[in-house]
Structures are given as structure tokens and as C-alpha cells.
Structure 1
Amino acid sequence: MNLIALCLLALAMSTDAFAAAIGKGAGLRNPPLTEALKIGLIFGTIEAITPLIGWSVGHLAAGYVQAWDHWIAFVLLAGLGLHMIHQSLGGEEHEPDRPPRRGILRVAVTAVGTSIDAMAVGVGLAFVEVNILLAAGLIGLATFIMVTLGIMLGRVLGGLIGKRAETAGGAVLILVGCWILASHLQG
């Protein structure tokens, strides 16, 4: 997997956290940059750890499924992408509609909820040639940046682009899955 695909994957993985951050930012009254950075760091750290966990699990199983590993990666990425698009089009919500609180535990739980897809992506990445530390680092960095921006922009952009970001992220995941499948089928 090349650097461009990894960057696109990182961006796609950060979109659901970005959407959640916009919602959180919309509920906060003029959040200071330090609070946005703290929330971004929590999300980014968790989002970087979960693909490592998923990759470890997938790597343990890689020897048993090596002949069809590219299909597993494709199904996982495309399925997650479709799920993200479904959520963005009015499927299930990330959080109930209630005013967000600022507690670190609540932020961490939200971050874990939005990073489950990154864990599943990590499983898929175990079946392709990828530097998992670079992939996890890029996912964490993209999430940190997107969540920090989402918190700060939440008051202005909350209702405008929150769900559209998740739709785009889902589409990118599907495209990355298709690219992995096409790469393996062609040679």
C-alpha cells in the first residue's frame, strides 16, 4: 500500500471522529483551543491504537487465509464504508441528542466508539503489505487534526457538513478496498 493510499485511508478513518467532534463543538460554548487540542489528542491516540490491535489479530490469522486475504480486506473496507455512508444518511447516531459534557471519560468512550472501524481496518491491513506503524500513526495524526478542527468549527459548521464528512469517508474506504482488490487480482 503506497503513501497516497495510506493518507486517504487515514483521512477516511478520521471522518467519523470529525463528525462527532463537530457535534461536540456545537454543544460547547466557545471552546478554547487548549480544550480542542486535548480532545483531539484523546481521539487521535485511541484512533492510532485500535488499528494496531486489529492488525495484530488479523496478522495472527493471516497464515490461514493467505490465498484470499485481498478479498477479506476488500469486504472489511467496503463494508465499513457502506456502514459509514448508511450512518451519514440517517442511520444510527453516534451519540444521543443531549448536551455533550466535557469529562475525559466521556470523550474517551466517544473516541473508542468512533475508532471501532479503525480496528476492523487494522484487521484488513494485516492481509496486505503495509507498514502498520506508519498507517496507525497517520490515522492518529489525521484524527487529532480533524477532531481539533471539528471542535473549533462545531459551532459554525455543526448542521452544515457533519454528516457529509462521514459520507465522503465511507466512499474513500470503499475506493481503498476496491484498489486493494484490483491490485491483487491484476498481479
Structure 2
Amino acid sequence: MDGAVLGTSVAAGQLMTIVVMAVALGMDAFSLGIGIGLKGIRKLDIVKLSLLIAFFHVVMPLMGMFMGQYVGSLLGGVAVKAGGALLLLLGGHMIYSSLRGDAVQSFDHRTAWGMLLFSLSVSIDSFSVGVSLGMFATDVVTTVLMFGLFGGIMSIMGLLLGRRVSRSLGEYGEACGGIILFAFGILFLI
């Protein structure tokens, strides 16, 4: 086998690995998007939230890649645990507010703070992945753009699916969404 063919197959293998990792990271955005979509969401908010998630799916791995092995080993696990705790709080609050009705103000994903909080909690696991990737020679631009692309697309799909299902669930949509966020929070903490 000559060098050009070997180089092409290695590049194709690296690209396939990056795509698989991007899909895996995007699955969180998809699943959690369903949870928020079940609460009910406008199409404009879907676009804004998905763009913010895509942005964080680019920034967080970049931060991880540039942090280095030592700092990453210290903060990587902490970042995932913090994201899990945040999802537990958001999910628990959504469940509580759906059961209490109008007596409790619900988590508002339409505010800038709510969108930022949700997007960060969905994207925080990509920091740890970035730390791991930073130890290997990968194409940084391609990697983070793929992460952002798949994170954004999969969050749109999840939010739209959740929005569609919420119409049939009615008032229980927010509770179902809260249960999904709460469950993912537990998984991040385990």
C-alpha cells in the first residue's frame, strides 16, 4: 500500500471517529431538547436555543483542548458533575412547578439566562471530550465544527419532537420534560 492511500484511509478513519463522537455528544442535546420541547416552545426559541447549543458545542471542546492534560484531569470530572447537578435542579424544578401549577414560577427557557443555563448544561460534557482530544493530534477546526453542527442539528430535532409530543400530553408535558432532565442529571452524576 502506498503512502497516499494509507494517508487517505487514516484521514477517513479520523473523520469517521469525529462524526461518531459528534453524534454521541449531540444525543444529549437531542434528548434534553425533547425535555424542553415537552414544556412547549416557540419556533423562534428553538432556533435561538439550538444556535446557542451549537456555539457551546464548539467553545467547550476548544476550551478542553487548550486546557491540557493536567488541568483537564482535575476539572473534567468536576465539569460533568456540575452539569449533572444543574440538570437535576432544572428537572426537579420543572417537575415541582408542573405539580404545583401556577403557584410556582417555572424554569423559563425563553429568557437569556434560561437559554444560557440550559445550553451550558447540555454542552458541558464536550469539555471533557475536548480535553481527551487535546492529547491527540486532531484537526481542531474540523472537530469543533462537527461538534457544533451535530449539537445544533440534534437539538433542533429534539426540540421539535418534544414540541410536537407536548401538544398531545397537554399539562403533563412539563412534568415529562422535567423527568427527562432529572434522569440525565442522575446519569451525569453516576
Judge same fold: TM > 0.5, yes or no.
yes
Match of 1:124 in 2: 132
Moved over 6 A (4+): none
Find the aligned partners of 2:67 and 2:136 in 1 and give their Cα distance: 14
The Cα of 1:100 is off from its aligned counterpart by 3.8
Find the aligned partners of 1:100 and 1:24 in 2 and give their Cα distance: 10
Is residue 51 of structure 2 the alignment partner of residue 46 of structure 1?
Answer: no
Please point out which of 135, 145, 169 is paired with 1:137.
145
Distance 1:143 1:55, change over 3 A: same
| Secondary structure of the structure 1 residue equivalent to 2:135 | coil
Amino acid of the residue matched to residue 153 of structure 2? I
User: Does 35-44 or 13-22 show the bigger shift?
Assistant: 13-22
Find the aligned partners of 2:24 and 2:121 in 1 and give their Cα distance: 16
Please point out which of 26, 37, 58 is paired with 1:14.
26
- In the TM superposition, 1:1-187 aligns within 5 A as 2-28=14-40, 31-32=42-43, 34-58=44-68, 93=88, 95=90, 96-97=93-94, 98=97, 99-101=106-108, 102-155=110-163, 156=165
Find the aligned partners of 1:109 and 1:37 in 2 and give their Cα distance: 16
Judging by fraction of residues, say which structure has more helix: 2
* Structure 2, unaligned runs of 5 or more: 1-12, 98-105, 167-172
Larger radius of gyration: 2
Find the aligned partners of 1:46 and 1:133 in 2 and give their Cα distance: 14
Distance 1:117 1:94, change over 3 A: farther
* Structure 1, unaligned runs of 5 or more: 63-71, 171-187
Equivalent residues of 2:49, 2:115 under 8 A apart: yes
Amino acid of the residue matched to residue 19 of structure 2? C
Equivalent residues of 1:40, 1:148 under 8 A apart: yes
User: How many residues are matched?
Assistant: 142
Equivalent residues of 2:28, 2:122 under 8 A apart: yes
The Cα of 1:94 is off from its aligned counterpart by 6.7
Equivalent residues of 2:64, 2:130 under 8 A apart: yes
The Cα of 1:16 is off from its aligned counterpart by 1.5
CA RMSD of aligned residues (A): 3.4
The Cα of 1:37 is off from its aligned counterpart by 1.3
